[in-house]
Amino acid sequence: MMSITAEEALDAYEAARHRLPASAPKTDVFQRVGALSDIANRFDVFLLDAFGVLNVGETVIPGVPDSVTELQNAGKRVLVVSNAASVGTDELLKKYTALGYDFARDDIVTSRETLSSKMNGNRDSRWGVVAPASADLADLGLSHAELLADDPAPYEACDSILLIGTGDWTHARQDLLETALRQRSKPVLVANPDIVAPRETGFSVEPGHIAHRLADVADVEPEFYGKPFANIFDMVFDRLGDVDRTRVVMVGDSLHTDILGARAYGIASALVPGFGFFAGGNVEQAIERTGITPDYLVERP
């Protein structure tokens, strides 16, 4: 698995800023709070990112299942809004249940679902797919799909590229993909706009990193599905129905996905810096550098 440092990730997000949504104007002042329970009276709906808020890699963040249950018992609607794309929603539900969370399937909205909902006219294309060898793509309903690995032929033969997950991805495979797209431009759909994801031992490189590199070196304009783009928030609000948007807050660990996405969509945001992207880092310095300011800085979920 390819890896990257936090500083490199922040640099990469800033370099790709022109491809991300423009943030809605707002004050550059945030409020510090100890926990989400401290702002529970201000919101009816909590949209929680997964990595860095619920878990780090495959490990639950201690105490967070109890915090989520407390919100649910108080009558709050709690949804997971995640750029997880390597597995389907049913598998994610099993994962969160095993970690101690009590979510229903409809409580989980992913970038994979968002992409799938937009693919009706494109499922018959010949797809080259960037995903782990173990990935199950059945729920996407693709007529012709081949995983891109070490054989150059599928890179050249496919008509479209789908970026799902990077668990098996290597620098050599990245070179093959860039070469193929320089030779012939093809649509590139990105089911996970994240550049990195926090793991137990550091950051993994995610599909967003691949996509922005492709856009930089080849004649392609990737189509992104998931945070910070509006398409995933549209799906969230379709699921929520008639709610007061001023009573909805997005909670995440990343400025460029969770917080920027919320600001661009016009809803409140809360950054949890202690467990994910900014664990051990200087979050205030990053806020000043990027100009992406959450409404709340939360010590822990």
What digits encode the pLDDT tens for the residues 123-177?
788 999 999 998 889 888 898 999 999 999 999 999 999 999 998 899 999 999 9
Global pTM? Answer: 0.94
Is the pLDDT reported for residue 239 higher than 60? Answer: yes
Beta strands in 136-290 (DSSP E): 144-147, 160-163, 188-190, 196-199, 202-205, 223-224, 248-252, 268-271
Last residue of a domain, one of 207, 224, 241: 224
Contact 157, 126 (CB under 8 A): yes
Range of 60's domain? Answer: 20-113+227-300
232 has a pLDDT exceeding 80:
yes
Task: Tell whether 188 and 265 lie within a shared domain.
Answer: no
In the chain, the amino acid numbered 167 is G
Are 69 and 216 in a shared domain? no
Question: Does a structural domain hold residue 47?
Answer: yes
Parallel, antiparallel or unpaired: strands 160-163 and 126-130: parallel
47/137 same-domain check: no
Indicate the average pLDDT of the chain: 92
Residue 143: its pLDDT value, please?
87
Looking at the structure, tell me whether residues 239 and 101 fall in a common domain: yes
The larger pLDDT score, comparing residue 1 to residue 214, is at: 214
251, 47 contact by CB (below 8 A): yes
Amino acid 26: pLDDT: 58
Give the list of residues 6+ apart from residue 41 with CB closer than 8 angstroms, or none: none
Tell me, what's the pLDDT at 58?
87
Residue 15 within a domain: no
Average pLDDT over residues 32-48: 97
Q: Is residue 12 part of a domain?
A: no
221 three-class SS: coil
CATH of the domain at 122: 3.40.50.1000
Residue 105 pLDDT exceeds 70: yes
For residue 2, what pLDDT is reported? 62
Look at residue 78 and tell me if it is in a domain.
yes
Is residue 192 within 8 A of residue 84, CB to CB? The reply is yes
The verdict on 201 and 240 lying in the same domain is no
φ/ψ of 236, rounded to 5, equals -60, -50
The structure tokens listed for 13 are: 């997000």
Is 8 within the bounds of a domain? Answer: no
Q: Is residue 7 very low, low, confident or very high in pLDDT (cuts 50, 70, 90)?
A: confident
Question: Which of these, 55, 190, 168, 187, lies nearest to 112 by C-alpha position?
Answer: 190
Residue 9 included in any domain:
no
Residue in this structure with the two tokens 């809605």, named with its chain if needed: 24
Q: What is the pLDDT of residue 148?
A: 96
What letter does residue 40 receive in the DSSP assignment?
G
> Which pLDDT does position 74 carry in this prediction?
97
Give the number of other Cβ atoms within 10 Å of residue 250's Cβ: 29
CB contact at 8 A, 301 and 61? yes
Split into its structural domains, the chain has a count of 2
Specify if 3 maps to a domain. no
Are 239 and 292 found together in one domain?
yes
The answer to the question of residue 272 being in a domain is: yes
